[in-house]
Structure 1
């Protein structure tokens, strides 16, 4: 399968289209999960399903059965040793207007892709980040969820084209650090692992949840001045794993023992990694 080619199931059947009146298209009314598979297995599957169930409940959206999603996910990655599955759940078709349908008939889309190429150098030496100009809006009712409206991330990613910059750091309107466009951020400050609070906005990633489960850490507000005091920075992503941060703008970092320990844990979960 070519990198740009996907196998797609819509409501369990091979298809690549939704009705034009689907609320996911009209209002971004839905959720998605991006799940890495290795040889038909997804080491973080349970965490993805937990977030999906919790987010569906918050949106008053019926959650699809995890067993059904797993069967469909394995179908679309068949023959691929490493793959990425995107599970999308929309509220389906409703009458015109914002009011929830009286009867909700969700649509589910399960799409399988070949794993994108991951640079070994990024895992060994780290990646460079820029500070994005766009600021994330605060909405606690949606904070943590991976809902379908990703326009802020789209506009943030449009701010640069330099291939030497791997990702962009996102702040909220008050200047608090939230995440990058594609990952959660961790910092080691005065010997303590810290990650930004996501109570106001941002996506609470499943790789972040895994890191918090195995490594004591503080979850609190962070600002750019805090990062200048950090001895290590790394990113967590369910697709890319644990990536050291080499630099944020002009501030340079060196991958340290906490980052390397988290990379070893990632490998122990069953994810092949290109770093040493």
Structure 2
């Protein structure tokens, strides 16, 4: 693993950095291969949007500097399938929870080995239902912020052989999985939960919703029973792409034609440079 802190080769941050003290920041995990940072614009947009929502705006010049560093200094170091992780915090300062009026961001960039999801993409995975609920908070919804304790707790409850767990909100409505977004297909219509009050707006989820025209898409608030009556189920994130779901809480689902078509469609976009 190779790490940079504020654009210098380093692996240390201040003990009073607000990212460490309070989780005061955001992060992105970008799929990378030699010569390509996938969905970079979408990742940068979500990072900037999250920082703005948290009251520590990332200026156009900040974005330009980070993008330039990723393309000129990070990408040449990628010689195999990798993950480029970006963490941006508010930096140091403030008194207790009260942040400083003007922040100096701490920018952390790492290059890590990529997990291999090929077998999962081919054969599918099983899901359980997490006992850990997702908190609904419109001020934090959609942001990939550093406060991931709910996901950590959910991961602790995840038992083999389940690959992921579905997380519900306090009203027992579907939100997402621990580390992925959730989709299902019923009678040719594509469904995914609304993330207006909770969850992370995945970049791959965004691309599926915006960049295909073969399906009518319904985004809304759905109970678990809606999913359990689906014809096909799959999960997504920027690293795993589309992974079929073959079981949810013991109920079997087929790896259907629509899921396979979407896998082929999104793979073709990658191969033709739609990143």
2:134 corresponds, among 127, 133, 136, to 136
**TM-score normalised by the chain length of structure 1:** 0.91
Distance in 2 (CA, whole Å) between partners of 1:86 and 1:269 is: 23
Q: CA RMSD in A?
A: 1.7
Is the alpha carbon distance of 1:68 and 1:81 closer, same or farther for their aligned partners in structure 2, counting shifts above 3 Å? farther
Aligned length: 265
**TM-score normalised by the chain length of structure 2:** 0.91
Runs of 5+ in structure 1 lacking a partner?
A: 1-5
Bigger mean CA offset, 48-57 vs 234-243: 48-57
1:211 and 2:171 correspond: no
Work out whether residues 27 and 88 of structure 2, in 8 Å CA contact, stay in contact via their aligned partners in 1: yes
**4+ residue runs of structure 1 moved beyond 4 angstroms?**
none
Q: 1:83 maps to which residue?
A: 82
Q: 1:20 maps to which residue?
A: 15
SS of corresponding position for 2:210? helix
Q: 1:100 maps to which residue?
A: 99
Work out whether residues 30 and 90 of structure 1, in 8 Å CA contact, stay in contact via their aligned partners in 2: yes
After superposition, give the CA deviation of every residue in 1:161-206 in whole Å (9 maximum; x if it has no partner). 41x2111110011100100001000011232100001111100100
1:148 corresponds, among 146, 149, 153, to 146
Distance in 2 (CA, whole Å) between partners of 1:266 and 1:245 is: 17
Is the alpha carbon distance of 1:11 and 1:271 closer, same or farther for their aligned partners in structure 2, counting shifts above 3 Å? farther
1:174 and 2:171 correspond: yes
Per-residue deviation at 1:271?
A: 6.3
Distance in 2 (CA, whole Å) between partners of 1:114 and 1:269 is: 23
Distance in 1 (CA, whole Å) between partners of 2:95 and 2:206 is: 37
Distance in 2 (CA, whole Å) between partners of 1:126 and 1:226 is: 20
Is the alpha carbon distance of 1:271 and 1:129 closer, same or farther for their aligned partners in structure 2, counting shifts above 3 Å? farther
1:193 corresponds, among 181, 186, 190, to 190
1:68 and 2:59 correspond: no
Distance in 1 (CA, whole Å) between partners of 2:199 and 2:44 is: 18
SS of corresponding position for 1:226? helix
SS of corresponding position for 2:37? coil
Runs of 5+ in structure 2 lacking a partner?
A: none
- Normalized per residue, the structure richer in helix is 2
